[in-house]
Amino acid sequence: MPVARPFRGSVLVAAACLAAAAAYGWHEALAAGLQSGPALGVILDTVWIVAVLAVLEVSLSFDNAVVNASILADLDPVWRKRFLTWGMAISVLGARVAFPLAIVGFCTGLGPVDAVRLSLAEPAHYEAIMHSAHASIAGFGGTFLVMVGLGFFLDAEKDLHWLGLLERQLARVGGVRAAELVLPLGLLAALAHGLPFAQGVRFLIAGLLGLIAYTLMDSLSAWAESFRHRGGTGGSTAATGLTTFLYLNLLDASFSLDGVIGAFALSNNMVIIVLGLTIGAMFVRSLTVTLVDRATLSHYAYLEHGAFWAITALGVLMLVSTRIAISDAVTGLIGAGLIGAALISSTRRRPRV
């Protein structure tokens, strides 16, 4: 059966990554002095873990694809293409490779090369360092995602509501000045109160940085858009495209933070994690392209609402995970459930024109 055009590149990348996983498993088996039978077992285990990581990444990031598609639909075609090409490199090399290594380097004082060596030579130590930084990671990523969700629902001018009563109330709250700042700050303060002092401080600082990052991106986007509406051309289009490009990559990075940490539940080997998450990231990009090309959001009125509810839920769960252990399965089921419910509601409503 032929592969749909947007997914051809993803299938090729998946095949290459699975082949690389098999080669890496063979290398590890030889290094351990294993014979053919046990070596084959190591190879199959490695390929299996990479495949499972890819599936988990896609399942946890479907809402990310929907939100990306809603933003890309109004983006200049040039910048849309740049996000789907350059953004892929940033997504994989930045959020899924460089960022974890930067955290390890920051916590240990190691340079980039030594951090890579640590991740390969002492994966258990590398995993422990990543988990020790969980409060900071969750604080930044969770706050940023909550702000993204609130930015959608606290819109006093939004007239289409899926969860009518709740969303109408949130739209009214959006008319209150600085409401979008008070809600996440209140949640951060409440959660930090029960953490050990040093960990609580790191959590609050990271949360504030997430809030600042969102506010900065939102302000730049609003400035570029208003300049274009006043009649600016050329430079204004580039400014709008650049700020949207940066915003989308920051959003994608925030989504991936939870997945990077969750990947350690299956493996603490950086090579295996990167291979699995790379496959997943490619398929999420292909799904985004499909949603844009087929104008899916215009046919399913509430799908975007479900995705933003899933984003908000993921952000809240990331923040709460500093106090309560929450499995990726729970996060994935909540996100899938919200999007599935929104999809069902959309089919019962006349499509938007």
Length of the chain, please? 353
Please tell me the predicted confidence (pLDDT) of residue 208. 94
Q: How far, in Å, CA of 303 to CA of 65, rounded?
A: 11
Q: How far, in Å, CA of 114 to CA of 98, rounded?
A: 13
Cβ atoms within 10 Å of 230's Cβ, excluding its own: 8
> In the predicted model, is pLDDT for residue 1 greater than 70?
no
Structure tokens at 323: 């106090």
- Cα atoms in the Cβ-side hemisphere of radius 13 Å centred on 111: 1
Please tell me the predicted confidence (pLDDT) of residue 175. 80
Please tell me the predicted confidence (pLDDT) of residue 181. 87
How does 300-336 read in b/e, with b if 16+ C-beta sit within 10 Å?
A: bbbbbbbbbbbbbbbbbbbbebbbeebebeebbebbb
Query: pLDDT per residue over 98-145, tens digit each?
Result: 878 787 777 777 888 888 888 888 888 888 888 888 888 889 989 999
Integer angstrom CA distances of residue 65 from 58, 108, 289: 9, 35, 9
> In the predicted model, is pLDDT for residue 241 greater than 80?
no
End-to-end CA distance of the chain: 33
The 3-state secondary structure of 67-131 reads HHHHHHCCCCHHHHHHHHHHHHHHHHHHHHHHHHHHHHHHHHCCCHHHHHHHHHHCHHHHHHHHH
> In the predicted model, is pLDDT for residue 231 greater than 60?
no
Structure tokens at 136: 């900071």
The dihedral through the CA atoms of 254, 256, 260, 262 has a sign that is positive
Model confidence at 353, in pLDDT bands (50, 70, 90)? Answer: very low
Structure-model confidence comparison of residues 318 and 225, the more confident one: 318
- Cα atoms in the Cβ-side hemisphere of radius 13 Å centred on 332: 13
Report the candidate in 121, 42, 101, 48 with the shortest Cα–Cα distance to residue 276.
Answer: 48
Query: pLDDT per residue over 299-326, tens digit each?
Result: 888 988 998 999 899 899 999 999 888 8
Query: pLDDT per residue over 35-81, tens digit each?
Result: 777 888 889 999 999 999 898 888 777 888 888 888 887 777 888 78
Please tell me the predicted confidence (pLDDT) of residue 226. 67
Mean pLDDT across 186-209: 92
Cβ atoms within 10 Å of 179's Cβ, excluding its own: 15
Structure-model confidence comparison of residues 239 and 348, the more confident one: 348
Q: Which of 7-16, 259-268, 336-345 has the lowest mean pLDDT?
A: 259-268
The dihedral through the CA atoms of 86, 91, 92, 95 has a sign that is positive
Please tell me the predicted confidence (pLDDT) of residue 188. 93
Which residue type is seen at 35?
Q
When the pLDDT of each residue in the chain is averaged and rounded to a whole number, the result is 83
Structure tokens at 5: 């055009």
